[in-house]
Structure 1
Amino acid sequence: MTEEQKKKLLERLRKLMALSRSANEHEAAAALEKAQALMNEFAITEDDLDLADYGTAESPAVFIKPGQRLPIYAGMLSRMIDSAFGASAVLDTDGREAKVIWIGPQSKTEIAAYSYTVLARLLQKKRSEYKFVSLLQVKSPGLREARADTYCEGWVTGVRSNIMPYQPTEKEKRLSDLFTRQKFPSLGTADMRGAGLSPSQSSDAYSDGLTEGRKTRLQAGMKGEKRGQIKETRYLEFGA
């Protein structure tokens, strides 16, 4: 069976499963019987049906180029988006441009990719402003870069303090893990770098970032939510 044929079969099965919940008992029974027969014939499981809703979405990595180590604040940002929406992130540096691949129910991956992109570009702008305004008097280029990184770590922590984490069900965790293993069987761990500063070296950079980050709110509107699908989202609000 080709991928296209399997896709059509899964779509047919999903329609039959929807009919199996019909108020018409005869229609429901016939649909369920047909669905079970097809699942047995083609060795389709309930997980296969659920995973038909899963997919990936991409966003630019922004903070990293192929061959470079990922700064810790970039990993913090992706984990924050994961916590907000329930879509996990994979870093892909194999191509010419590094990218972040979001994994989960398709509606959530699209929102996660969009939100990460907007926040990452905002943080990139904030980092540049902080480095060339607040750190202008720092003589050492290395120390200036490290303090800018520390500012970013504080900024992400500040934004995270405004979100209400999404709590995935055990089934969602299991399906996400299954889909990830199917899609990325050789997945490794990203190599990350921290600012590496002591509290005295970092000066006020972390607290400056924390204060600024708290002004940024990431809101996931859950009104009308059904079965974990986000129906209404006010993506980002900026300001005090």
Structure 2
Amino acid sequence: MIPDRIMRKIERCLALSQSANAHEAGIALRQAQQLMQRYGLSEQDITLASVTDHTATAQAGKTPPRYLNSLATLVNSAFGTQAVYLATPQLSGTQVRWIGQWQFLGTDGASQVAAYAYEVLQRQLIRDRQAYQSGLNRRIKRATRIRRGDAFAEAWVAGARESIVPVELSPAATEALEAYAQRQHGELSSLSPRQRGQLRHHDYQAVHQGYDAGRQVRLHDAIQTPEREALGHG
């Protein structure tokens, strides 16, 4: 195993090789190349070494609902990460229960922040969705209650997206994250999130309320708090 100090030294040399000072850049590049040759490393090995992963529990089973998939996409956009959905079966008596997780991949510590941000946002989203559903007429059908709750939640994520500034990943970073994911999981299949059918006329009130609630979210304010508290509004 390559010592961390060697990996960090190579990374520093490669960074310095981009210097505007041609002499300094040349020396740094030669040092990086010598170290890489000595330890049998390629440039992709160095890039992959900067990628980390952290997981966040999803409030879902084998297949996540579309609103949680959208939430993971929002977090990826905010922190320059990529997310892989993992579902693990657990046997409970004679029944199999699936436990879902998002694995966030990122560089420079982004994966840890993204996983935490997802958990914070998910708690607030689930809480707001439940509060919305509790205010619905108790006589409506269960399917209608779920459909409107999902519509509220999807609109909530759309509203929350307004408060973020997307992080643009470089082609090299994107390639590194994809290579890391493939190294860990092999060939990944496309995720088809669960959705609850087409909206009906009276469902659009749920969309308006969800969007308004999501617009109150302040993601970056929440993740700067010293303790893992539920995300507040305002």
What TM-score results when the alignment is normalised by the length of structure 2? 0.80
Residue 185 of structure 1: how far off its partner (Å): 1.3
In the alignment, is the contact (CA less than 8 A) between 1:73 and 1:156 conserved in 2? yes
In the alignment, is the contact (CA less than 8 A) between 1:56 and 1:106 conserved in 2? no
Partners of 1:190 and 1:26 lie apart in 2 by 49
Residue 212 of structure 1: how far off its partner (Å): 0.8
Q: Who is 2:94 aligned against?
A: none
- Give SS of 1:192's match: coil
Deviations 1:13-37 (A, max 9, x none): 3466578799xx9998776545322
Give the letter for the 1:239 counterpart: H
Partners of 1:29 and 1:158 lie apart in 2 by 49
Q: Does 1:104 align with 2:106?
A: yes
Moved over 6 A (4+): 18-22, 25-31
Partners of 1:182 and 1:218 lie apart in 2 by 31
Residue 207 of structure 1: how far off its partner (Å): 0.7
Q: Who is 2:165 aligned against?
A: 164
Deviations 1:107-146 (A, max 9, x none): 100110000000001111111111112x133420111111
Count, aligned residues:
220
Partners of 1:14 and 1:125 lie apart in 2 by 43
Aligned pairs for 1:32-111 (under 5 A) are 32-62=29-59, 64-65=60-61, 67=62, 69-96=63-90, 97-111=99-113
Q: Who is 2:143 aligned against?
A: 142
Residue 206 of structure 1: how far off its partner (Å): 0.8
In the alignment, is the contact (CA less than 8 A) between 1:138 and 1:144 conserved in 2? no
In the alignment, is the contact (CA less than 8 A) between 1:85 and 1:220 conserved in 2? no
Q: Who is 2:179 aligned against?
A: 178
Consecutive unaligned residues of structure 2, counting only runs of 5 or more, are: 91-98
Residue 90 of structure 1: how far off its partner (Å): 0.6
- Give SS of 1:193's match: coil
- Give SS of 2:52's match: strand
- Give SS of 1:104's match: strand
Consecutive unaligned residues of structure 1, counting only runs of 5 or more, are: 222-232
What TM-score results when the alignment is normalised by the length of structure 1? 0.78
Deviations 1:29-56 (A, max 9, x none): 7765453223234442223222211110
Identity of aligned residues (%): 26
Report which structure shows greater RCO (CA 8 Å, sep ≥6).
2
Going from structure 1 to structure 2, the CA distance change for 1:178 and 1:123 (only over 3 Å counts) comes to same
Give the letter for the 1:234 counterpart: Q
Deviations 1:139-161 (A, max 9, x none): 20111111111110111111011
Partners of 2:29 and 2:155 lie apart in 1 by 53
Q: Who is 1:130 aligned against?
A: 132
